[in-house]
Amino acid sequence: MQLNRKLTHLLKGRTIQAESGDQGSVVLTFADGSTLKLKVAGQASVTAGGKVKAAHESGAEFRLDLETGSAVQVRLADPGSSVALRDRNGAVEYLG
Amino acid sequence: MKTCAVRKLVFFILFALALPLPAQQPEPILPDPKLTPGDTFDVTADDICTPGYSKKVRNVPQSVKEAVYREYGISAHPPHAFEIDHLIPLELGGSNSLKNLWPQSYLTLPWNARVKDRLEARLHALVCAGKLDLKVAQQAIASDWIRAYKTYVGPEPKALGRPSEDERAETAPAVTPAAPGQVWVNTRSGKYWRPGSRYYGKTKQGKFMSEQEAKAAGFQPAHGTGE
């Protein structure tokens, strides 16, 4: 899976504090108050927590590698339209 | 008798060949609504009117561009003949989904990628000035961008096609604004440049518009002065 440099640059070092979501979406909240919303195909359950090391994306496959060695991996609902990162104030940091 | 019939047939064939063909204008290339209905991110007018917004969107990967060409059955094309265009442009909240990408020609006349750029700048300015609802703008450009051009920009453009090599050689600078005095907006950085400045018309992504439109859309002068 290919490294998503732009998103890696933004997320590296951020700590996942909470995870929520429902059918079709996953929301990761980071310790700095920023949120990463992923539109996913089907239901996805994310249990991993920790600091983000890198973001990978290839087609519909999306993965966040964590410093702990674990990973968050989901299948995106619509590649190119399913990843949104906003800062604690709700301002857009990344879309893709 | 038979010879006469043959002569008549030859005459009619030659006559038909000699008739002038109707002038053929290249057909405007419109996106296939089944392949490219348009798609947007979940963003608001406030989001897209923030200077530098487009820079926050991931670049379209080359593999996706190739997939778009394949979808449209384009296996080979001359250099600079097409761009992979966002039907609903990034600056109006369009996404990088395959549903929003299509190969748009630079070469067709009068409707081509450069003309659509003018419409995109106009709609962005109207939305950011509070004169047009974002959803209405997105719907207008996704359903029929040529009709949207006529509605929001004006009548059919005359000469915004890609200049020939000769025309480009004769024109200095190579890129000229659609109207005198327009500024060049770098749509990725959110800064604009005035005529004669270093990056005027030269950044990879950008477009011309009036300074008033640029300010209304939230763009700021580069280095504080646009110089």
Among the partner-chain residues B41, B64, B99, the one whose CB lies closest to the CB of A95 is: B41
pLDDT given for residue B24 in this prediction: 37
What is the model's pLDDT at position B6? 58
Half-sphere exposure of A72 (CA within 13 A, CB side): 27
| pLDDT, mean of residues A16-28 | 91
What residue in A sits closest to B94 (Cα-Cα)? A81
The confidence score (pLDDT) of residue B3 equals 56
Q: Is the ipTM of this complex over 0.85?
A: yes
Q: Is pLDDT above 90 for B119?
A: yes
Residue B36's pLDDT is what? Answer: 97
Identify which has the larger pLDDT, B79 or A25.
A25
Contacts of A62 in chain B (CB under 8 A): none
Q: Where are the domains of chain A?
A: 5-95
- CA dist., res. B178 & res. B195, Å (int): 12
Stretch among A28-42, B17-31, B49-63 having the lowest mean pLDDT: B17-31
Question: Of B47, B50, B64, which is closest to A80 when you measure between CB atoms?
Answer: B64
CA distance B154 to B220: 26
Sorting pLDDT into bands at 50, 70 and 90, what band is B107? Answer: confident
Q: What is the mean pLDDT of residues B109-134?
A: 95
Task: Say what the pLDDT of residue B158 is.
Answer: 74
Picking from A78, A84, A91, the nearest residue to B50 by CB comes out as: A91
Read off the pLDDT of residues A67-94 as tens digits, 9 standing for 90 and up.
999 999 999 999 999 999 999 999 999 9
The predicted pLDDT at position B118 comes to 95
Give me B25's structure tokens: 């204008």
CA distance B60 to chain A (A): 8
Distance CA A55, CA B87 (A): 27
Q: State how far the Cα of A33 lies from the Cα of A84, in Å rounded to an integer.
A: 14
- In chain A, at which residue ranges do the beta strands (DSSP E only) sit? 15-22, 25-30, 35-39, 50-58, 61-66, 71-75, 83-86, 92-95
A contacts of B50 (beta carbons < 8 Å): 91-92
Higher pLDDT, B103 or A48: B103
CA neighbor of B86 nearest in space, from B200, B213, B196, B187: B187
Residue A47 has pLDDT above 50, yes or no: yes
Residue A6 has pLDDT above 70, yes or no: yes
Q: Average pLDDT, whole number, for chain B?
A: 81
Mean pLDDT over each residue of chain A, to the nearest integer: 94
Token output for B156: 């059919």
Cβ atoms < 10 Å from Cβ of B183:
27
Strands of the sheet with B191-193, listed across from one edge: B207-209, B183-186, B191-193, B220-221
pLDDT tops 80 at residue A95: yes
Question: Distance between CA A34 and CA A94 in Å, rounded?
Answer: 11
**Cα–Cα distance for residue pair B120/A44, rounded to 1 Å:** 37
Tokens of A7: 């998103």
Q: How confident is the model at residue B167 (pLDDT cuts 50, 70, 90)?
A: very low
Contact B72, B103 (CB under 8 A): yes
Whether the full predicted model's pTM is greater than 0.80, yes or no, is no
Cβ within 8 Å of B, A 29-68: 37
Any idea what DSSP says for residue A69? S
User: Residue B110 pLDDT > 60, yes or no?
Assistant: yes
N- to C-terminal Cα separation, chain B: 84
Q: Do B99 and A4 touch (CB under 8 A)?
A: no
Largest CA distance in chain B: 88
> pLDDT tier at B18 (50, 70, 90 boundaries)?
very low
In this prediction, residue B22 carries a pLDDT of 37
With CA atoms as reference, the chain A residue closest to B48 would be A92
Can you tell me the distance from the alpha carbon of B32 to that of B72, in angstroms, rounded to the nearest whole number? 8
Cα nearest neighbour of A78 on chain B:
B97
- Predicted confidence band at B9 (pLDDT cuts at 50, 70, 90)? low
User: Residue B35: left (phi > 0), alpha (psi -120 to 50), or beta?
Assistant: alpha
The total of other beta-carbon atoms located within 10 Å of residue B19's CB is 7
